[in-house]
Amino acid sequence: MAHHKSAKKRIRSTKRKTEYNKAATSKIKTLTKKVLASDNVKEIEPVYKEAVATLDRNVTKGRLHKNTAARKKAALTKHVNKLSKKTETAVKA
């Protein structure tokens, strides 16, 4: 157990930051799953934009490495582009 006042404060702040980080990580995972699970481009578009914004926000906050976020965004973008191409082909036929 901590004895110094600063160490006690550090324990409290670490606990608070851990909760924020868990919530952020959970939100990223949830949005990613929503985008990858859906097959409708119209439904995906707002969720995709929110997911990309959340990833970028977490990079600036220092919760994610920029390359990790870039890799996740690339996977999401690839999925959305694949669906949009499939939709365009169906509309033309």
pLDDT in tens, 25-55: 999 999 999 999 998 888 899 999 999 999 9
Q: At a CB cut-off of 8 Å and minimum separation 6, what does 52 contact?
A: 73, 76
Residue 78 has pLDDT above 60, yes or no: yes
Residue ranges of the domains in the chain? 38-93
Average pLDDT of 50-73? 97
- How high is the pLDDT of residue 93? 57
Residue 51 near residue 31 (C-beta atoms within 8 A): yes
Instruction: Give dist(CA 25, CA 58) in Å, integer.
Output: 9
**What is the length of the chain?**
93
Comparing 86 with 11, the larger pLDDT belongs to 11
- How high is the pLDDT of residue 48? 96
- How high is the pLDDT of residue 87? 76
